[in-house]
Structure formats: C-alpha cells, structure tokens
Amino acid sequence: MPLADLLSWSRIVLILPLSMAAVARDRDAFVWLLLVAFATDALDGAVARWRGTVSPRGAQLDSRADAALYLTTPFLALRVFPELGDALAGLTLMVVVLLVTPPLLGLWRFGRLPALHLWSSRAAVAAMALGVAVLGLLDQSWALRLGAAVLAVSTIEELIVILLLPRWTPQVPSVVHVLAARTPRPLTTPSPRSNAR
C-alpha cells in the first residue's frame, strides 16, 4: 500500500482515539490527535506526488478520509469544549454545512465524491488547524472563527468548480485552472512570411 494511502487511512483510524478523548474530555489529547490528523491531510497529497503514486483511487480515499474526519470532529469538539456552548455550537453547525455541501453536490453531479484538493482547501485545513490549536492551548475561539471564514471561501470555490467541471476530475488546483481550460484558444493561422524560404 502506498505511503500516501497509509496517511489517508490513518486519518480515519484517528477518529476512534479522538472520540475516546472527547468522551473523556481530555482536551490536550483531543487537540494533539486532531493536529496529527490535520498533518496527515496536509501530507498525503504531497507524499503521493513526491513518490509518484497519485491516482484517482488515492484521491477518492483522501476525500473519504477528509469527510469522515471533518464531519465527526465538530461534534466531538462540542463535548471537549462545553464551556464555549452556544458560540461553538453555531460555529459547528456552520462548519458542518460547509463540509457537507460540496460532497453532496459532487455526488449529484458525478455520482461520486469530488476529489478536487483545491489550494484554498489546503489553506482552510491549515487555518482550521491553527484555530483548533489556539482554542485548545489558549482557550480562545477567534482563530477558529477565522478558520471557518477561510473554509467558507474555500467551499464557495469548490462549489463553483464542481458546477463548472464537465466530468469528475481529481486534483484541480483552483477555479482559475478550470476557467483557463474552458476558454477556447484562438486558432493561429500561419503568416505569409512563414511560408517564405
């Protein structure tokens, strides 16, 4: 099994210890495990490119691991940080809606989960990781709110890309790349001078 796939699988496996830490309300364990999970998300694609093991199957595995982690984590965080109560509950609902919408649209359009891995998605993961770290270590939620804002921008871009793509396509860097691929290039006609000897 490629190393990148092992990193993606580890993200799924980490859900169990994350759940256990949440049930025990072990804030430190929860934060560190979540940061490790974020790191695997940041690394699996880079490792696949570095090792030459990029594949549609790996992209799908990565997307499934992301969905499993990011759809369970907000609810676990509510248990770990009960003192934030209503503020974190609203933010959690927003994050869940943002995370669920692109996969649902991808399933509707292509019959399978999108595996875009946009640059903005990577920025959103980094911003959310920072938010979790600041929340866990400093008991402040401002960075998590910033992460949610970056996630919102990333989600909008992902929805636009899914709507613009004519078919399921993995590894799309940005909406700019999709638009550039859709723009017809003008036909060039040889100039009279090019035929001259």
Backbone angles phi, psi at 3, to 5 degrees: -60, -40
All structural domains of the chain, each given as residue ranges with its CATH number in brackets, are 3-177 (1.20.120)
Q: How far from 53 is each of 57, 106, 117, 180, CA to CA, in Å?
A: 10, 24, 16, 26
Rounded to the nearest integer, the mean pLDDT of the chain is 82
Q: CA geometry: angle at 63 spanning 61 and 68, to 5°?
A: 95
pLDDT of residue 195: 46
pLDDT of residue 196: 43
Mean pLDDT check: name the lowest of 30-34, 101-105, 129-133: 129-133
pLDDT at residue 32 is higher than 80: yes
Instruction: Read off the pLDDT of each residue in 149-172 and give the average, rounded to a whole number.
Output: 90
The pair of structure tokens assigned to 96 is 């869940």
pLDDT of residue 197: 42
The answer to whether 59 and 3 are in contact (CB under 8 A) is no
Instruction: Please state, for a pLDDT cut of 90, what percent of the chain lies above it.
Output: 20
pTM attached to this predicted model? 0.69
- State the DSSP code for 167: S
What's the distance, CA 22 to chain centroid? 22
